[in-house]
Structure 1
């Protein structure tokens, strides 16, 4: 019977092509608007490391002056980074499976190719555990060694894009590239790493949805060469002093730190360490506010930094509101379409069709409209996302549709059509055969 009703639905759509096209277009526009918005929101709020996000923690301690402090106030964004002193202490703590400290760097790259001039590139200076912690895929080579990490050797890992720009498709491992005015030995090349959001280093000039970093050099090497940071810094802490060495000895906060624990159940152990550390620092005259020490896992961290802000959520609700408006219009069009078929329903009922048969027929017909609206809505959504991606590089990283969102488009379209068709279908089932036969 399903196949029979499906064919009836297709025939019915050809009877009034203008009205059918209007219903499909109305449904497609509503679905496209909502799906394209939800697609962007889905990409922005996605978990980049779902298998370990509850084991990755950002510590937040308050080393700001006591003046102006209001007990119980929420931590500010300026407290989301730590000082060099605290980073070194955390690295020596041996707490957890891995520890990583990092900061953004940027500067000129001098290619060996004569046809390519000097250009600027942005990268990061992390410790070696960064690679095992956030799992970027390698195309060639590997991260630098623990000895390189400890000594601050002049080694570097390139992104695939930067490697291809410098040497084409060749393997550059073992060669030297001049970055920031110094030669660095290439130990590895990452494969394309388009993780979204870039939760590992949201704070910086690129943000959560910027393009991938172009190179990675050891944290100790960057510090040894007094490489300037590329990102935000707050110097409202204690013992501030001028110069690079003064910054290292001061309370200026400009570094990002991550702990990786063996399991999410070890969060309490890490919290105890953080509280004990703050207590020791207060004995040394630091952390006078005695503010609560906080831990954020990866998803909590993105929430704290408002990776998906209220404007994005409001846009999603408005898109669904627009879809609801389109459904209301579709309901009106379906009522108009089904009302002129009252005589057909009356004859079918007189010939023995039950209300259930009529309901099934019209509902399947409505689902056909939903499928057609889904195909058109998908095309419109792809077009909308293409337009959005052209607005900025950041939007280009999130304005793309994956398989789950593709399936959601069809499911949403068919479901929306079925919901819209419930009232018209119910009204069609209420037709009294006797009255319709007398009017013929």
Structure 2
């Protein structure tokens, strides 16, 4: 019987093509707008590493000048090198790593390929285990390499393919970066956590990973150019990068990994003890203002999802509701033109429940047709967003969640729109309709 009702729904849609096209287009437009914005919002707001997001932490220390009072209660979003190095050396957590942005030039040493620039990071060896970088060849450097600042590199498979023809051939080879030779000891697969939570300061939230990673002390020893945000509460006493590293300028992003909530509390206690120790040495004039954010808290603190994105989503939901209301009006017009048909069915023994199921299924068929067109509209909108804003290229992509959302939203919207018209159709009195024929 259900299949029979579906067949009747298809026949009914074909009976009045103009009205059907209007309803399908109305539903498709509402579904496309809401599902496209939902896809982008979901990509922006998802937990990029859910199984350990509560154990990856960002410690912040307030080293701002004391004359600011309570105007700015949030501490700086980065650490000074002297603080990052002290925390890193103390190793009070299970794993820890500083992050130093790089924008190095790469000399391929080939006549067929000119010098080019890429994106990179100077980090500690724990970085790869903490953020689960998918290593496919070789490995990360050792703790001893960290201490001495060895000129070693871990590169992406894309960069390895570009320079050496195959990712597997890169390990052991030399790569020339900013005029210095680095030995490649590891190659990692394509890796693009969304959002790019480990480098929210001075980076694009929704771009792919960097192409090259080197020990942070190698970057410092070689005086490589820093690529990132630098904020200074006072001018460095010495010129150049050497003076910057000794100053109160915040420029280093820092992450730690703990094993559980108890170790997180212990690390917070350690951080407080460190700040009090530095206060005794004449630093940190403001009152104690440490922070310790896990991944989700860090995303919220940096407002990864803008107010404009949230507003756009709710506007699209409002547009979908308008489309549903318009569809209700069109279905009312469609069903109200068929009282004779309904009266005959009721006179032949069909109950109100059976009429309700038939006409509600007809609305469901309308939703299925609208979902197909809405999905096509959604793909078009997301393609336009990717072309218009390269920063959203990784989040504005069609996936099974998008497909399922489009189907579900369209059918539910059609069924919702069909409730009132279907209920009105069930109120037809068969005697009056038969008498008028």
TM interval, shorter chain, is over 0.9
Instruction: Give the corresponding residue for 2:404.
Output: 407
Equivalent-residue separation in structure 2 for 1:95 and 1:39 (angstroms)? 39
Instruction: Give the corresponding residue for 2:25.
Output: 25
Structure 2 counterpart of 1:298, from 295, 299, 318: 295
User: SS state of the match for residue 249, structure 2?
Assistant: coil
Instruction: Give the corresponding residue for 1:61.
Output: 61
Equivalent-residue separation in structure 2 for 1:237 and 1:48 (angstroms)? 36
Deviations 1:239-262 (A, max 9, x none): 654222211111110000011110
CA shift at 1:264, angstroms? 3.6
- Alignment check: 8 A CA contact 2:33 2:320 kept: yes
User: SS state of the match for residue 81, structure 1?
Assistant: coil
User: SS state of the match for residue 253, structure 1?
Assistant: coil
Equivalent-residue separation in structure 2 for 1:316 and 1:225 (angstroms)? 47
User: SS state of the match for residue 320, structure 2?
Assistant: helix
- Alignment check: 8 A CA contact 2:193 2:208 kept: no
Instruction: Give the corresponding residue for 2:97.
Output: 100
Is 1:164 paired with 2:132? no
**How do residues 20-99 of structure 1 correspond to structure 2 at under 5 angstroms?**
20-70=20-70, 73-75=72-74, 79-99=76-96
Equivalent-residue separation in structure 2 for 1:296 and 1:10 (angstroms)? 55
- Alignment check: 8 A CA contact 1:34 1:323 kept: yes
Deviations 1:244-301 (A, max 9, x none): 2211111110000011110244322222122221111111111110142111110110
Structure 2 counterpart of 1:189, from 187, 190, 204: 187
Is 1:229 paired with 2:226? yes
RMSD: 1.4
Instruction: Give the corresponding residue for 1:15.
Output: 15
Deviations 1:297-342 (A, max 9, x none): 1011011111101111001111111111111111111111111111
Is 1:438 paired with 2:435? yes
User: SS state of the match for residue 103, structure 1?
Assistant: strand
- Alignment check: 8 A CA contact 1:125 1:219 kept: yes
Deviations 1:168-227 (A, max 9, x none): 2252110001011111100111111121111001111x3211232111111111111122
CA shift at 1:237, angstroms? 5.0
- Alignment check: 8 A CA contact 2:55 2:258 kept: yes
CA shift at 1:238, angstroms? 8.1
- Alignment check: 8 A CA contact 2:124 2:215 kept: yes
CA shift at 1:348, angstroms? 0.9
Equivalent-residue separation in structure 2 for 1:264 and 1:45 (angstroms)? 24
TM-score for both structures, normalised by structure 2 = 0.97
- Alignment check: 8 A CA contact 1:64 1:238 kept: no
Instruction: Give the corresponding residue for 1:174.
Output: 172
**How do residues 342-381 of structure 1 correspond to structure 2 at under 5 angstroms?**
342-381=339-378
Equivalent-residue separation in structure 2 for 1:279 and 1:224 (angstroms)? 30
Query: Closer, same or farther in 2 for the Cα pair 1:161/1:404, shift >3 Å?
Result: same
Query: Closer, same or farther in 2 for the Cα pair 1:347/1:264, shift >3 Å?
Result: farther
TM-score for both structures, normalised by structure 1 = 0.96
User: SS state of the match for residue 186, structure 2?
Assistant: strand
Structure 2 counterpart of 1:198, from 196, 199, 213: 196
Equivalent-residue separation in structure 1 for 2:234 and 2:294 (angstroms)? 25
Equivalent-residue separation in structure 2 for 1:344 and 1:266 (angstroms)? 72
Stretches of structure 1 that go unaligned for 5 or more consecutive residues are none
Equivalent-residue separation in structure 2 for 1:269 and 1:83 (angstroms)? 22
Equivalent-residue separation in structure 1 for 2:429 and 2:405 (angstroms)? 39
CA shift at 1:367, angstroms? 0.8
Equivalent-residue separation in structure 1 for 2:37 and 2:388 (angstroms)? 15
Stretches of structure 2 that go unaligned for 5 or more consecutive residues are none
Equivalent-residue separation in structure 2 for 1:136 and 1:439 (angstroms)? 76
- Alignment check: 8 A CA contact 1:32 1:377 kept: yes
Structure 2 counterpart of 1:213, from 188, 210, 213: 210
CA shift at 1:92, angstroms? 2.2
User: SS state of the match for residue 124, structure 1?
Assistant: strand
User: SS state of the match for residue 258, structure 1?
Assistant: strand
Instruction: Give the corresponding residue for 2:284.
Output: 287
Bigger drift between 83-92 and 141-150 goes to: 141-150
Equivalent-residue separation in structure 1 for 2:293 and 2:178 (angstroms)? 34
Instruction: Give the corresponding residue for 2:136.
Output: 139
User: SS state of the match for residue 176, structure 2?
Assistant: strand
